[in-house]
Amino acid sequence: MRPVSVIQLFLALTLSGVTFACQSTHKRSEPVPAVERTDSCQSNPEHTYEVFVPARQSAAIRLPLLIAIDPHGSGQTAVKHLKEAASTYPAVLVASNLIQNDDPHYMQELNQLIADVRKRFPVGKEIYLAGFSGGARMMLGYAANHPVDGVMACGAFASPDQLAAISCPVMGLIGMDDFNFSEMVRYILQPGNRPANVHIELMEASHAWPTKKRLTSVFGWFRLSALPEKDAPKKEVATYVKAQQVRIDSLAGAGALLQATCIGRNMASVEAFDKAGSFQTMTNELTGKPACQEQLSQLTASLQFEFSRRQVYLQSLFSKDENWWKKEVSALHQEMVSEPNMMKRMAYKRLGGFLGIVCYTYSKQLAEQKDIPHLEQILMIYRLAEPENTDMKHYTEVLEKLQAQQ
């Protein structure tokens, strides 16, 4: 046998190494299973959060970050409502267990959370925010001071000045019977004055997180509208457009014209959606219907009635006795159910919610001030208005402790 030369041996080893390197480089990526767990910020272990990462085809894939705030600091509640959205339109979903209503440090804590998640999970550059009630207010406040890609504000909104400071799209989701409805209604009554980045979607729910299906639909609007038209998956866009057309037709057929026109405007604001579904034409046809104009007139009248009754309630908090409030609250609860005009019935429900939030605000303030006589009066009204409210029960216990200390 001929001896192998040094050069031949070198070439054989080199080629072998190249072949091995190529094989290693092109090794097939393994799918990564979904992750769902409770974690905590490394810089602040007391700041725990819930995290959900949907399954991925490769560990190299980076996903948008979707951050959610529940007003009671329940990350599990937020994840429960948004997990379907983060699965359907893949995103890393995180929800703080620390940040809640009246948290003065929420911006610092959100920055802390974002920094922690970026280090430990497959997060790309995009950041979306979602919050309900006080959580929505905090997310809007954060977006006015930091670059983000979109905000889903559920059950509460921002002032026009604050909205002007937000550079990304904002979707306000509100029920027509929500006591915060007045914060968004101007953009329904006068859509021409709506800033280009502001969008409204009406819900069936009262003051509550929207349904999973509704949040998924709205997050789909954000994700698909953010894609350049050349990169947007045509089949996925077509499916989404068709689903929104069906929603609009269904709502319009049921006489819910204001809800239908809101969806139409949101879809028409995105060129790719409007090109595929002619939503501007559809919206113009809906708003031109006499029935739509009549609903807008009824809505305006219901708001005027609501604001006049709000003033009566505010003026009567400490000037009317228990008998007056029993009659007033009993009549209010009855009208919430029996009023035949839908717009006015929604106004009665908003009044009920307004009375509850006023009682909560005063209860908190008076408890801190240890003002027993006024706290007794407010809690009397609170019990009549919302007998099962947990905050009312909490401040009743606070009152009892204050009375025992006298």
332 shares a domain with 210: no
Of the candidates 207, 226, 245, which is a domain's last residue? 226
DSSP assignment of 335-383: HHHH-SSHHHHHHHHHHHHHHHHHHHHHHHHHHHHT-HHHHHHHHHHHH
Query: Does residue 181 lie in a domain region?
Result: yes
Distance CA 406, CA 45 (A): 40
Distance CA 93, CA 87 (A): 9
Token digits for 124?
């790309």
Positive/negative CA dihedral, 244, 274, 200, 157? positive
Question: Tens of pLDDT along 141-189?
Answer: 999 999 999 999 999 999 999 999 999 999 999 999 999 999 999 999 9
| Nearest by Cα to 304 from 357, 343, 353 | 343
Query: Does residue 198 lie in a domain region?
Result: yes
Please report the pLDDT score of residue 28 as a whole number. 57
How many angstroms from the chain centroid is the CA of residue 91? 15
**Residue in this structure with the two tokens 């046809």, named with its chain if needed:** 285
Question: Tens of pLDDT along 251-304?
Answer: 999 999 999 999 999 999 999 999 999 999 999 999 999 999 999 999 999 999
Distance CA 9, CA 14 (A): 9
Better-predicted residue by pLDDT, 331 or 30: 331
Distance CA 349, CA 337 (A): 9
175 shares a domain with 303: no
- Three-class SS of residue 12? helix
Which range of residues forms the domain containing residue 84? 35-226
Backbone angles phi, psi at 95, to 5 degrees: -140, 120
- Which CATH number characterizes residue 44's domain? 3.40.50.1820
Better-predicted residue by pLDDT, 117 or 8: 117
Mean pLDDT, residues 380-405: 97
Query: Does residue 332 lie in a domain region?
Result: yes
pLDDT at residue 313 is higher than 60: yes
Better-predicted residue by pLDDT, 401 or 25: 401
Query: Does residue 257 lie in a domain region?
Result: no
Please report the pLDDT score of residue 51 as a whole number. 98
300 shares a domain with 197: no
Backbone angles phi, psi at 36, to 5 degrees: -145, 120
Q: Is the pTM here over 0.85, yes or no?
A: yes
DSSP assignment of 65-89: EEEEE-TT--HHHHHHHHHHHHHHT
- Any idea what the Cα angle at residue 389 is, between residues 386 and 395, rounded to 5°? 105
349 shares a domain with 216: no
Of the candidates 193, 226, 259, which is a domain's last residue? 226
153 shares a domain with 52: yes
Of the candidates 183, 203, 226, which is a domain's last residue? 226
The total domain count for the chain is: 2
Mean pLDDT, residues 225-249: 88
- Three-class SS of residue 250? helix
Query: Does residue 286 lie in a domain region?
Result: no
66 shares a domain with 198: yes
323 shares a domain with 201: no
